[in-house]
Amino acid sequence: MELDALNLDPPRAPAAFVASAQRAAADAAVASAERASADTFRSIEGIARHNTRKVLDAFKAHRVGEEHFAGTTGYGHDDFGRDCLEAVFAEVMGAEAALVRGGFASGTHAIAVALFGALSPGDELLVVTGAPYDTLEEVIGLRGSRQGSLQEWGITYRQIELQADGHIDLEAVTGALSERTRVVHIQRSRGYAWRPAIGIAEIGRVAAAVHQRAPGTVVFVDNCYGEFVEAVEPCDVGADLVAGSLIKNPGGGIVPAGGYVAGRADLVHRAACRLTAPGIGAAGGATLDGLRLLFQGLFMAPHIVAEALKGAVLASRLFRELGYLVDPLPDDSRTDLIQAVQLGDPGKLLAVCRAVQAASPVHSYVTPVADRVPGYESQVVMAAGTFVEGSTIELSCDGPLREPFIAYWQGGLSYAHGRIALEECIAALSAPAASIPEPERLSGTQLA
Ligand SMILES: Cc1ncc(COP(=O)(O)O)c(C=O)c1O
């Protein structure tokens, strides 16, 4: 197996020879993993074709023209380009309506707006996929105080753990529903957790069971990293409301900022009234000169998601061959972009993130260190040499500095870039141990 060739004997070979031989071995290992991934790549490309056609059909049905790219200023009233974009987006997401705005600060903001819109004082939020993503802890009120969290507004919270096999405990969910349960929250992607992502078919089963038991309950899906990975979206299978980020999948790697909420028209309206103000809702909010990129990003998104997914499959296969636990496995069917790799060591997590950073088009000369990031409790190390700050549809690799030191690999505007970065990661991990940052060589503040 080609990876054995990485075990060179450094003392007997000159350093330059070792480095070039390691690089050649890494290249051979990547080429072999690429060949082994051919069938999985083909199925990813098939989904990309299906989703590109879906997006194209929506553009055609809504007669998108250059006039829709003009944008508005000031109040942003009568912005027919924005209205057209939101109608196209809703159709693509299988939703009645959508709010697609550059004014959302992040996916967390879009999710918060969706939840604050759907929930009223006295209601209960029931999260059914275990602990929610780190940044939602403060939105819900599990961490922090005096910032107007859901709990501070009188919205109670309960959480149902995933089953041991990583699936939603449907019996526990339906058993937990009460007349106060207004929103059932499903987190589709794994977040910073070692658990499988929740596929569309499972989301459909949960939505059907919840609606059968409690028809008025809103099934909400945190759709971050999920868009265009499968052939249909959560609202196609019964979810009432979804939210996500435009610097992830649906921005196609070129949208500079923003997020979206999509779903039932009444719930999108309530979210819009939270984003702007009651009485204004979706009718206000200037788009300035950003509309062309929002349209173009949506058009590009299925293709870019496929490029990123192929990189994730390759990463899964290569890290597994190097002996690390990976999730998902290379040929597993996927519902999110994320590839988790359990490195088991803070030095290796830093080494991998630094290799990805060094292989980035922007800030390749920067050395990532672990630090505090707003919204996260643990210190986080992030490799993100991206054109759009923090964009994780662009190639990025990050993880909280906590056991078992998992690297979360995601994004990649081109498969070729992901492949090159993987060669660098293999070279970094197979370098003599001295070049891998040791935990004791990190400063105290760098450790969680
Ligand atoms: C599952 C999930 N939900 C929500 C978020 C928050 O998104 P953002 O970083 O855009 O606020 C993330 C971020 O990675 C995530 O993985």
The CATH number assigned to the domain holding 417 equals: 3.90.1150.60
Pocket of ligand 1 (CB under 6 A): 106-108, 133, 135, 187, 189, 191, 222, 224-225, 245
**What pLDDT, on a 0 to 100 scale, did the predictor assign at position 20?**
75
Residue 3 Cα, ligand 1 centroid: separation in angstroms? Answer: 34
Q: Which atom of ligand 1 is nearest to the CA of 108?
A: 11
Of 110, 78, 109, whose CA–CA distance to 93 is shortest?
A: 110
Torsion of CA 198, 200, 202, 206, to 10 degrees: 100
Tokens 């060591």 belong to residue: 345
**What pLDDT, on a 0 to 100 scale, did the predictor assign at position 130?**
97
Backbone angles phi, psi at 156, to 5 degrees: -85, 165
Q: Whose CA is nearest to atom 1 of ligand 1?
A: 191
User: What's the structural domain count of the chain?
Assistant: 2
Of 295, 300, 307, 293, whose CA–CA distance to 255 is shortest?
A: 293
Of 283, 299, 315, the residue that ends a domain is: 299
CATH code of 141's domain? 3.40.640.10
Query: Who's near 204: CB < 8 A, 6+ residues apart?
Result: 237, 238
**What pLDDT, on a 0 to 100 scale, did the predictor assign at position 167?**
97
**What pLDDT, on a 0 to 100 scale, did the predictor assign at position 18?**
56
**What pLDDT, on a 0 to 100 scale, did the predictor assign at position 17?**
62
**What pLDDT, on a 0 to 100 scale, did the predictor assign at position 14?**
57
Please report whether residue 198 resides in a domain.
Answer: yes
Tokens 């028209």 belong to residue: 265
Please give the Cα distance from 113 to 148 (Å, whole number).
13
Range of the domain at 310: 2-48+302-446
Please report whether residue 260 resides in a domain.
Answer: yes
Same domain? For 235 and 338 the reply is no
Same domain? For 338 and 251 the reply is no
- What letter does residue 235 receive in the DSSP assignment? G
Of 219, 223, 221, 141, whose CA–CA distance to 182 is shortest?
A: 219
Please give the Cα distance from 147 to 152 (Å, whole number).
8
Of 272, 299, 326, the residue that ends a domain is: 299
Please report whether residue 55 resides in a domain.
Answer: no
Give, in order, the Cα–Cα distances in Å from 45 to each of 49, 51, 189: 6, 10, 21
- What letter does residue 224 receive in the DSSP assignment? T
Task: Specify whether the backbone of 63 is left (phi greater than 0), alpha (psi in -120 to 50) or beta.
Answer: left
Same domain? For 22 and 130 the reply is no
**What pLDDT, on a 0 to 100 scale, did the predictor assign at position 16?**
62
Same domain? For 157 and 258 the reply is yes
Query: Who's near 123: CB < 8 A, 6+ residues apart?
Result: 155, 156, 180, 181, 182, 183
Q: Which atom of ligand 1 is nearest to the CA of 109?
A: 11
Residue 244 Cα, ligand 1 centroid: separation in angstroms? Answer: 8
Of 252, 283, 299, the residue that ends a domain is: 299
Same domain? For 125 and 162 the reply is yes
Same domain? For 176 and 232 the reply is yes
Task: Please answer whether residues 412 and 359 qualify as being in contact, where contact means their C-beta atoms are separated by less than 8 angstroms.
Answer: no
Cis check for the bond before 302: say yes or no (omega within 30 of 0).
Answer: no
**What pLDDT, on a 0 to 100 scale, did the predictor assign at position 377?**
82
Query: Who's near 244: CB < 8 A, 6+ residues apart?
Result: 107, 110, 222, 223, 224, 225, 226, 227, 250, 259, 260
Same domain? For 191 and 208 the reply is yes
pLDDT means over runs of 10, the chain (448 residues): 41 59 82 97 98 98 98 97 98 98 98 98 98 95 95 98 97 98 98 93 98 97 98 98 98 98 98 98 96 98 98 98 97 97 95 97 96 85 95 96 95 98 93 63 38
Residue 108 Cα, ligand 1 centroid: separation in angstroms? Answer: 6
**What pLDDT, on a 0 to 100 scale, did the predictor assign at position 11?**
47
Question: Judging by beta carbons within 10 Å of its beta carbon (0-12, 13-18, 19+), is residue 38 exposed, middle or buried?
Answer: exposed
Backbone angles phi, psi at 396, to 5 degrees: -155, 155
Backbone angles phi, psi at 399, to 5 degrees: 180, 155
Same domain? For 75 and 174 the reply is yes
Same domain? For 314 and 409 the reply is yes
